[in-house]
Every structure is written in structure tokens, then in C-alpha cells.
Amino acid sequence: MENILSQVGKKLRESDYKLTPQREEILRVLIENQDKHLSAEEILGLVKEKSPEIGLATVYRTLEILYSLGLVHCMDFGDGRKRYEFELLESKSHQHHHLICLNCGKIEEIEEDLLEELEREVYKNKGFVVTNHQLKIYGFCRNCAPKKEGEI
């Protein structure tokens, strides 16, 4: 954790920003919850547990800075709320993909990247170099999917 914070602090300083105590707390929440897709309001709720003086405007400003530096991804899953996810500095590769349940709202990550063949075809046929992509698949999770006849 401290190594990541040090690296982020360096990247912030290189862009004329400081790693303030408030930004550090927001970063800690993002790093500790890398397996979740948190909204700014959810981040604020977690930050306030340790630093009740931090407000929503500070969270939004920090997320904008981190996004502009490529340290967080911002995603919209169609529920009217932007979700944020910390990007590890050493893992600058394709983003993972997401399964989004239309009933309960659960978001599950898919690590497999099945679009590499499509990228090659796009380059071959269109001369377009894909640098990244994001795939969102909407449907029903295991708990919400309609049961087929004969299933328990």
C-alpha cells in the first residue's frame, strides 16, 4: 500500500499536484476496494469513517485529477452513477470486462479478453489500431436468472 501511495505521490508531483492527506485517504479507499466499482458517494462514505471532515466536492475533484492522470478508470453501467476503479501503475494493459445484472445491479468482472481476435481483424480490414476497449454485458446473474424447467 505504502509503495503504491509513494508511486502515486510521485506521479501527482510530476503533474504539479500534491498528495494531500485528503487525497491519500481517497486513494486508500480506492486501493483497499479494488475489487469493487465504487461511486463517488460510496467512496465518500468509506472515507468519512476515518476522515469525517472530507466532503463530496473533495472526492469529486480528487477523482477528476486521478482520472486525468490515468490512475482511475471511470465507468458508467447505465444506472445513472459513474463508478471508479483504481488502476495499478504496473498493470497498464487492456481493461477487464463486466457482467451487469439487470435485476439486482451486481457487477462482476471478467478477466478473459476474448476480443483480441476482433482487434486483429479490425486492424487487418480497417487499418485501425485498437489501444484499448471496454465490454459491458447486460443480463441476469446466477441468483436472478429465470430458472429453466427442471432446475432446482
Residues annotated in a binding site for Fe cation: 116, 133
Cite the annotated binding site by residue number. Answer: 101, 104, 116, 133, 141, 144
Cite the annotated binding site for Zn(2+) by residue number. Answer: 101, 104, 141, 144
Residue partners of 86: CB distance under 8 A and separation at least 6: 27, 30, 31, 34, 66, 71, 72
**95 in Cβ contact with 110 (< 8 Å):** no
125, burial (CB in 10 Å: exposed 0-12, middle 13-18, buried 19+): exposed
For cell 485528503, name the residue. Answer: 22
| Closest to 91 measured CA to CA, from 4, 30, 1, 27 | 4
